[in-house]
Chain A
Amino acid sequence: MSVPLSWYLLLSAVLFALGVVGFLIKRNLITVFMSIELMLNAVNLSFVTFAHQWHAVKGQIFVFFVMMVAAAEAAVGLAIIIAVFRARATLAVDRIDLMKL
């Protein structure tokens, strides 16, 4: 029994869309950051699917590098969140509006 690869790609597209929706509706800085991680994961799934389709090792290597960069990005991003919380004592994105016009 085989699964069409388009189902994997559709799942990846839906996960990405859910990540974007989360980015738009969530009002907590940490949850917004989690939605970004969700989008990264969705794209990784389509990389792995295409690597499977074309028997190309490059796709999997790309996912490996994305994971390492995501680890670095998560560390720096969370450090920035801690710094923002220290400066403004809130995590609500509506109240962090110093640069808003």
Chain B
Amino acid sequence: MHLILFIVFAVFCLAGAVNLLLQTHPINSALSLIVVMTSLAVLYLLLGAEFLAAAQVIVYAGAIMVLFTFVVMLLNAGREERTLGSRAATVVGFPAVVALLAVLATVILHTPSLAGAVFGDNLSNEPGKTNLDQLSTVLFTKLLLPFEVTSVLILIAILGAVALARHDDGERAAGE
């Protein structure tokens, strides 16, 4: 069951990622990115990270991708023009990608201690202690300060986004 689910959603992931590269219209790329993110949420669920699966669907597939499609439609982005691309990308970029992937695959395949993923293998196997319990305990006790700092970061990001995207007329009116 685990194997079948893994294969199905891994194929969805890869197909979505390849489709993102092949599509020329940004809205199609955005939709295939949503497929990738939702399949990743299922993979998180298979790895016993329920909270992250929910957060992935809500934050990534929901909020961030809505922002992306909103900007694509706002700017009325059409088909991208095919150009030759930069020479640096062909000379340095693609060999570097191949080398990176080869090194990563070699390291991963030669790591002996990796176990298999099975259902119900939680972070701690104490009875009655779920993953969410552990996650929230650490997040709200040991890491409370980073958690609060992140909320400040998001507030600053909102202000920055508004300041950056504001129209020039508005800026002039604010300056007067």
Give me the interface of A with B, judged by CB distance under 8 Å: 1-11, 13-22, 24-28, 30-31, 33-35, 37-38, 41, 44-45, 48-49, 51-53, 55-58, 60-61, 63-65, 67-76, 78-83, 85-86, 91-92, 94
B146 touches A60 (CB 8 A): no
A67 touches B135 (CB 8 A): no
Question: Given A55-B124, A57-B123, A18–B21 Cβ distance below 8 Å?
Answer: yes
17 contacts between A and B (CB under 8 A): A1-B1, A3-B2, A6-B114, A7-B6, A24-B94, A25-B89, A26-B80, A37-B64, A57-B135, A58-B138, A63-B49, A63-B52, A65-B146, A67-B56, A68-B154, A81-B75, A82-B74
When distances are taken between beta carbons in the complex, the residues of chain A under 8 Å from B93 are: 20, 24
A57 to B136, CA, bound (A): 10
Return A23 CB to nearest CB of chain B, in Å: 8
When distances are taken between beta carbons in the complex, the residues of chain B under 8 Å from A60 are: 49, 51-52, 123, 131, 135
A8 to B115, CA, bound (A): 11
Q: Label chain B's interface by main secondary structure.
A: helix
Return A37 CB to nearest CB of chain B, in Å: 7
